Amino acid sequence: MQQDSRSDGVRLLGEAVRQHRLSSSQITLEISAQFLSTDTARLGAELKLLRKTGYRVALANFGPGHASISKLMELPLTGVKFGTSFTATLADSATSRAILTSVTHLARDLGLSVTVAGIDRQREFDVLRDYLDLYWQGALLCPPLPAEALAKRLESSFSQRFRSQCAGVDK
């Protein structure tokens, strides 16, 4: 019965993705590190089903005290994400910067992406400026937007990219 509910959840997610004309490979699902104390085998099976369907899966709130390195080996992840509380320590903590550097190297070796959330102030941006192989998130880069404003921004971004890609194409 549990397998059926997992399949239904993946099926419903797939329907929503298709309805919005997206691909599952465009979606990254974040699993909070605080939930890793649950049954790892069951969680791993659920994540494998999502990965098999094409979704990317990242471990959110990764950092000291939240997630063990062993989870990177046990779960079918495609990325890790440092949370805002960790990001807030980067400007003042050489230890935090060393952890970020080490995890970034480890993630690259494992084929995982690294996202840093909570870039809300210039000082955090200044520290992360040299980390070009990271994904960045935060209000400094793009404040939270209502759905309509986000849709307009994405449409505008897509239109600009499309025009620039087609600028030199003969008709």
pLDDT, position 156: 80
pLDDT, position 170: 45
Note the pLDDT tens digit of each residue in 37-77: 667 777 888 888 889 989 999 888 776 555 567 777 788 88
Q: State yes or no: pLDDT of 79 exceeds 60.
A: yes
Q: State yes or no: pLDDT of 86 exceeds 80.
A: yes
Which pair of structure tokens corresponds to residue 151? 């849709």
Distance (Å, rounded) from C-alpha 124 to C-alpha 39? 35
Structural domains of the chain sorted by starting position, each given as residue range(s) with its CATH number in brackets: 2-144 (3.20.20.450)
pTM for the predicted model, two decimal places: 0.70
pLDDT, position 171: 41
pLDDT tier at 22, thresholds 50, 70, 90 = confident
Note the pLDDT tens digit of each residue in 108-157: 999 999 999 999 999 999 999 888 789 999 999 888 888 888 888 878 87
CA nearest neighbour of 58 among 99, 27, 88, 87: 27
123 touches 96 (CB < 8 A): no
